[in-house]
Structure 1
Amino acid sequence: MLTEHLFSTGALAAADIAARIAAILSDAIGARGVASIALSGGRSPRPVLEALSAVDLDWSKVIVTLVDERWVAPDSSDSNERLVRETLLQGPAAAARFVPMKNEAANAYAGQSAVEADFAALPWPLDIILLGMGDDGHTASLFPEGKELAEGLTSKALTIAATPPVAPHQRLSLTAHGILQSRHIFLQIGGAAKKAVYDRALAGGPVEELPIRLALLQDDVPVDVWISEV
């Protein structure tokens, strides 16, 4: 089931996403004693994470991890871990348990097995997976024409090492299987260009062409999409 939420600005959408995440995490703690969320990097999630950090939750019972990560040092400006630490894991939310997607291995391929073991130990299904979408229709680090795309779409592993066709840095990413091991999938779309890609994806076609279709064109996990004009 796919539900759209329409807003005039990304800031309004972000506030609504943060409120919805907080409610789901709170319910999960009440029901199971633990809550879990995997986050994407980029510009769009920043205001969501900043708003979420101020929410009154028992953060010590929340597990926070990533949808994908560049194989860079955690203090690099390109690191999604750095983004999460600087935005979400502040104040009360600093008590959350963070599970990184980057380790000390020389490259993503050498580090993948240890990341896979760490992720296998998480309490699946995760409560929320917050996806992003690129202008090319990629999500997580599953890129059109990526050499690891077929494996990322079919593997029963939770994670995969990948080298994007154009973007810099090797990556560690959730597979399609990992993304669909969730109770809720959230997606934020801002601006006309991404809305056009989203509409194309929703109209149907090969997942290999627009990998975001792996989330949009399935019926196992409910998907909420926040769409803003800017």
Structure 2
Amino acid sequence: MCLIAFAYQSHPTFPLIIIANRDEFYERPTAAAAFWEDAPMILAGRDLKMNGSWLGVSTSGRFAAITNYRDPSRPESGELSRGEIVQTFLSAKQGTSSFIDELREKRALYGGFNVLLYDGVALHHYNNVVDEHHIVPPGVHSVSNATLNTAWPKARFAKEVLQTAITAETVDTTDLISLLANEQIAPDETLPNTGVGIHLERALSAAFVNLPNYGTRCSTAITFQQNGTIQLLERTYEQGQLAFDTAYEIKS
């Protein structure tokens, strides 16, 4: 997952609204969002290489999502899979603060990441590279491959389109799902310098990434309602082309 924008306690009917794009190599095997047979409380897509996930919700009202931290000087992966963090949190009953405390103790075992964790009470962000933990305040926020609210062009764009979308009286996943389908490249003077070279910085600056062997594999829109209902819509792409949508609803 490489781009997430979310509105937390910013709409009278929807305490949490999320839009997200997952960017990955096309060859990496993936299952679309579904309830997991081996963990039926989890509704999420699944990375079939390591069996974890990048984003999901649970029947208990939890949400988790993870992005990689972009730094070519650091190892791409670690001893432990980042996707297991999402899986473990969604199936746990443990409080979020204590979950993050345990995560911090083994942070060096993972590749760099940001993780968002919501337990129905509070929304938390943790980055293992800079070792920062935030209890996220109400508002519209975004995270890509730096840390929370880093003003990369794609992160600013995601916040802006979501901020506009939540001004509507009602918010629906079908209206949200296309908000991040923007392939526009940011101007060079606005690009970060993360060490991957200017050509790749340009390509990765778009909200929707479309490269020959790597790009946006799926987009996800999630709404949490005050009455406990969770709606999730996932749009799957195959090499930049729309393949199919998958929709689910969880009622408390």
TM-score, reference length from structure 2: 0.27
TM-score normalized with structure 1 length: 0.29
Structure with more of its chain in strand, by fraction: 2
